[in-house]
Chains A and B, each alone.
Chain A
Amino acid sequence: MSEDRYKLNKELAQMLKGGVIMDVTTPEQAKIAEKAGAAAVMALERIPADIRAAGGVSRMSDPKMIRGIQETVSIPVMAKVRIGHFVEAQILEALEIDYIDESEVLTPADDVYHIDKTQFKVPFVCGARDLGEALRRISEGASMIRTKGEPGTGDIVQAVSHMRAMNSAIRDIQNRREDELYETAKQHRVPVDLVRFVHDNGRLPVVNFAAGGVATPADAALMMHLGAEGVFVGSGIFASGNPEKRAAAIVQAVTNYNDPAKLAELSYDLGKAMVGINAEEIQTIMAERGQ
């Protein structure tokens, strides 16, 4: 991938800032998401909550379904591939997908290596639980980062802890002396250039969204306060009682995260939230996949 292409890919993520990216499984859902104000949609066969319930192996979606969604909406369309499955990624690139999510929500295809994302023209977003993971994915070519959270649970606790961990590590690096950065890079198992960027700029070199467990407008606003630049909502919308209304409310909550009165109004009478599973009660910890 050329430097120009990587820059353009990071810039597409910049255009998504302040927005909500919604998981959809059909063209109909994609249309609902677009109308509700989604900045992009993530096309996948089953929402994370259902993947969790069904068990078994979860893979890239059928290209027919992805095409159907691309033809239905005009906003960017993203889709997931298994960690390390570069052939699934090649297939999505052939479909001219706007963003690939190399995602722990699907069953990993490689338990050691992630995809060498520098070999692709299309952009990648990857999940991370802490700064080291985020910078490792960026050094492999990711042009956008999201917290892993714990997908399909409707429990925000993991996304909160991942975002806090990332930002406290960033603050820690900012306070270090220049000559300490080599050791810091070793501790985080990342290239020193990326650590130096964080030291000088106080942020990741790419856009950082929250994901995994966002179920309510308040959850979305909480993540924005903690430093997210936008949110992914997976199961939280289409596993809830009134997807249209909840989706539109989460979109406005991201814009007005700093306005409690507005958030109260947005949270009013949204119908049943996704039931949710306590992140401590689950057996498959997706966030531990691919470190």
Chain B
Amino acid sequence: MIGVLALQGAFAEHESCLDRLGQEFFEIRKREHLDRSMDALIIPGGESTVMGKLLRDMDMDSILKERILGGLPVFGTCAGLIVLSKRVVGGSTSLGTLDVTTIRNAYGRQLGSFETVAGFDGKEIPMTFIRAPYVESVRPGVKVLSEVDGRIAAVRQGNQLATSFHPELTEDLTVHRYFLEEVAGVM
């Protein structure tokens, strides 16, 4: 059972990916929803400032942080990467469990949004970047899974996977499959 953080943003798109992979999921909109047991968590794209505020206002941040540090497999895309990052340039930190430095809105405004094809864990896949961040640097223990034009676009630190692009917006399920198989071990 996968929990999908559904406070704001493109969570429905992730749910559709999970559907296609035959995975069951539930939406997390408030603290009580965290009482349900889950095998893994997805933090979707959206606005990281909104998600950060709602996590704080609804008292969900410390419990999630504790669970992720305790080994709960988590996958963050775009805003989800920012929410997980320990250091954020141009924004504030939220859960801060992933030992990387991330630059928010690193490609500028909407005119800087783009699509490309690039390698992820050795496989070429389509990638969509929307007002995207990128990872400026990683600490030891964090593995870089993808770089686009010399900028880090995907990282993994043990149970945590994060991408600066949106795999949930393309038909390609490589990254979701990687998360469910390699990181969460539920497939």
Contact B104 A74 (CB under 8 A): yes
Please indicate the chain B residues that have their CB under 8 angstroms from the CB of A123 in the complex: 110
Q: Which one, A18, A122, A248, A251, contacts B110 given CB within 8 A?
A: A122
> Is B11 located at the chain interface by the 8 A CB criterion?
yes
- Inter-chain CA distance A37–B58, complex, in Å, is 13
Determine the residue in chain A with the shortest Cβ distance to B30: A256
The answer to whether A15 touches B9, judged by C-beta atoms less than 8 angstroms apart, is: yes
Query: Is B8 a contact of A39 with CB atoms below 8 Å?
Result: yes
Are the CB atoms of A255 and B47 closer together than 8 Å? no
Known: A11-B130, A15-B46, A15-B130. 4 other contacts (CB 8 A): A17-B8, A19-B8, A248-B53, A251-B53
Most chain A CB neighbours (cut-off 10 Å) among B12, B90, B111, B115:
B111
Q: Is B45 an interface residue (CB 8 A)?
A: yes
* B109 is an interface residue with CB less than 8 A from chain A: yes
Q: Are A255 and B46 in contact (CB under 8 A)?
A: no
In chain B, positions 1-28 with a C-beta closer than 8 Å to chain A are 6-13
Question: Quick check: A255 and B10 within 8 Å, CB to CB?
Answer: no
Contact at B46–A259, with CB atoms within 8 Å? no
Tell me whether A121 is interfacial, beta carbon within 8 Å: yes
Question: Contacts A18-B7, A39-B46 known; A11 to B169 CB distance under 8 Å?
Answer: yes
- Give a binary string over A1-43; 1 marks a CB under 8 Å from any B CB, 0 the rest: 0001001110110111111000000000000001111111000
Given that A15-B10, A123-B110 are known contacts, is A40 also in contact with B47, CB under 8 Å in the complex? yes
> For chain B, what secondary structure do more than half of its interface residues adopt (helix, strand, loop), or is it mixed?
loop
Chain B residues contacting A39 (CB-CB under 8 Å) are 8, 46-47, 50
Partner of B128, one of A11, A70, A262: A11
A256 to B27, CA, bound (A): 11
CB neighbours (8 Å) of A288 from chain B are none
State whether the Cβ of B131 lies closer than 8 Å to any Cβ in chain A.
yes
Contact residues, B98-152 vs A (CB, 8 A) = 104-105, 108-111, 113-115, 128, 130-131
A74-B105, A252-B54 known; A18+B113 contact, CB < 8 A: no
A17 touches B54 (CB 8 A): no
Instruction: Count how many chain A residues have C-beta atoms less than 8 Å from C-beta atoms of the other chain.
Output: 38
- Indicate if the CB atoms of B53 and A18 lie closer than 8 Å: no
Nearest residue (CB) in A for B105 is A74
CB-CB contacts below 8 Å: A112-164 with B:
121-123
**Closest-CB distance, A15 to chain B (whole angstroms):** 5
Task: Check B185 for interface membership: any CB of A closer than 8 A.
Answer: no
The interface residues of chain B lying within 8 Å CB-to-CB of A8 are: 110, 113-115, 128, 130
In the complex the two chains form, what is the Cα distance from A139 to B26 in whole Å? 35
Q: Interface size for chain B: under 10, 10 to 19, 20 to 34, or 35 or more residues?
A: 35 or more
Q: List 10 A-B contacts (CB under 8 A).
A: A15-B45, A15-B78, A17-B46, A37-B54, A40-B47, A74-B91, A76-B109, A121-B111, A251-B53, A259-B30
A14 with B111: CB separation less than 8 A: no
Task: Name the residue of chain A whose CB is nearest to the CB of B51.
Answer: A37
With A252-B57, A256-B30 as contacts: A19 and B9 at CB distance below 8 Å: yes
Contact present for B110 and A255 (CB under 8 Å)? no
Of A12, A37, A99, the residue contacting B53 (CB under 8 A) is A37
- Between A37, A75, A98, A123, the greatest number of chain B beta carbons within 10 A of the residue's beta carbon is seen for A37
- Cβ contact within 8 Å between B49 and A74: yes
Which residues of chain A come closer than 8 Å to B29, judged between CB atoms? 255-256, 259
**B46's closest neighbor in chain A, by CB?**
A15
Task: Give CA–CA (A80, B38) in the complex, Å.
Answer: 44
A162 CB to nearest B CB, Å: 23
Residues of B within 8 A of A98 (CB): 109-110, 131
Tell me if B166 counts as interface (CB < 8 A to partner A): yes
How far, in whole Å, are A122 and B131 apart by their CA atoms in the complex?
13
- B residues 26-65 near A (Cβ < 8 Å) are 29-30, 45-47, 49-50, 53-54, 57-58
Task: Pick the residue among B6, B7, B50, B109 that contacts A38 (CB under 8 A).
Answer: B50
* CB-defined contacts of B7 to chain A, threshold 8 Å: 18, 255
Contacts of B164-181 to chain A: CB distance below 8 A: 166, 169
Tell me which residues across on chain A come within 8 A of B113, comparing CB atoms.
Answer: 8, 11-12
Say yes or no: is A96 at the interface (Cβ < 8 Å to chain B): yes
